[in-house]
Amino acid sequence: MQLLLDVFDNYLDTRSQLSGKAKKIGTADQISILNDLPGFFTLLLTDCGRISDFEVMGSIGTGNIARVPWIAIFNSKVTTTAQDGYYIVLLFSEAMDCCYLSLNQGVTSVQRNYSRKLAVEKIQVGARKALLYLNPEPRSILGRINLKATGDLGIGYENGAIISYHYPRTNLPSKSQLKEDLFALLHHYDRLLPVAGSSIQNLVPVSEAEFQQVALEKAATKLDNTDVTQIDFLKAVPVPKRVSTNRNGWARSVSVSAYALRQAEFMCEVDPMHQTFISNSGKRPYVEAHHLVPMSHQGEFKWSLDVPSNVVALCALCHKLLHHGRALDKKEYLMKLFENRKNRLLKNEISLDFSSLYGFYAKDSVGDD
């Protein structure tokens, strides 16, 4: 197929000519990636009456030229960006010796929520979970693909692949074969939408230990680009999404908890003198993030409980006490934390009195928050 050959035959030379900068200069490879291949897929979607559901775009990178250029087909119900969700994407290998048509995952959003190593593990687990809902064809590749990638984005695509079709440069598909494979992936895409929603990570459980580790690591290093510093000053924050992988059913932002830990200067907010230890995550004193108004009660509030005003830093012992201790033993700690936070909670329109808060903890055990 000539549109693929135009990329294979020219992309490396263009990349070298531009000294790695993503500048549009109208070479054959750029025309194919940015115009002709997106046009080809758009026509296929139009012919089958699906174009209203999808957006198609090609990319050679922004700023630096992509080592792995791509053409993505986004279902607008899931995502309209390569950073988030999951989508069908045509990926060219870094060596320009093959390409893949792949149902794959946006990696950037997953990396924001985890360390890089853990993010790779989570997208691999997500791909395996997704396959449980599919009925793959014999010639498809399940799971990891080989883009010969040396950059983070390409490596992310290698590990985030769910189901793919491989096209060596020496044996490229015809237009009819590419159409057939696209329609097969569209069928898989449709099957995943009701169970995965906007992210394959909705199928992947996150343990409390993982959440606390990553929150502390982010707090001790550098928070992501989410402007969490503004959250406390907003009048209210929309309720987070419901997720099946959290025991309490509501999504929690690692960045929000990380910001709260940093605000507390890695000290227990019940008593800064409480003994802890230096964690391997960022080499800071080990503290844990705890939602003072438990996330399990989010359904009783109009606005989000996942805001820094509602997240307190606790030493491990205090955290366990609030979750598993006797109600009477929790009361003094809760009173102190509530008095320190009630005015900040009101800024986020989280309104309750101490009696209501204590009622949430009156049973002997509180679930993960």
What residue segments make up the domains of the chain, in order of their start?
Answer: 2-203, 208-361
In tens, the pLDDT along 205-233 reads: 778 888 898 889 888 886 544 556 556 66
In tens, the pLDDT along 80-125 reads: 899 989 999 999 999 999 999 999 999 888 877 777 778 888 899 9
What is d(CA 62, CA 83) in angstroms, rounded to the nearest whole number? Answer: 13
Mean of the pLDDT values across residues 25-52?
95
For 218-252, give the DSSP string. Answer: HHHS---SS-GGGGGGSS--PPPPB-TTSTTSB--
The second-level CATH assignment, the architecture, of 2-203 is: 2-Layer Sandwich (3.30)
What is d(CA 129, CA 136) in angstroms, rounded to the nearest whole number? Answer: 14
pLDDT bin (cut points 50, 70, 90) of residue 352 is very high
Predicted local distance difference test score (pLDDT) of residue 110: 83
- pTM exceeding 0.95: no
Predicted local distance difference test score (pLDDT) of residue 225: 46
pLDDT bin (cut points 50, 70, 90) of residue 281 is confident
Token pair of 347 as six digits: 């800024």
Is the distance from CB of 90 to CB of 37 less than 8 angstroms?
yes
In tens, the pLDDT along 238-277 reads: 887 766 555 567 888 888 999 999 999 999 999 999 999 9
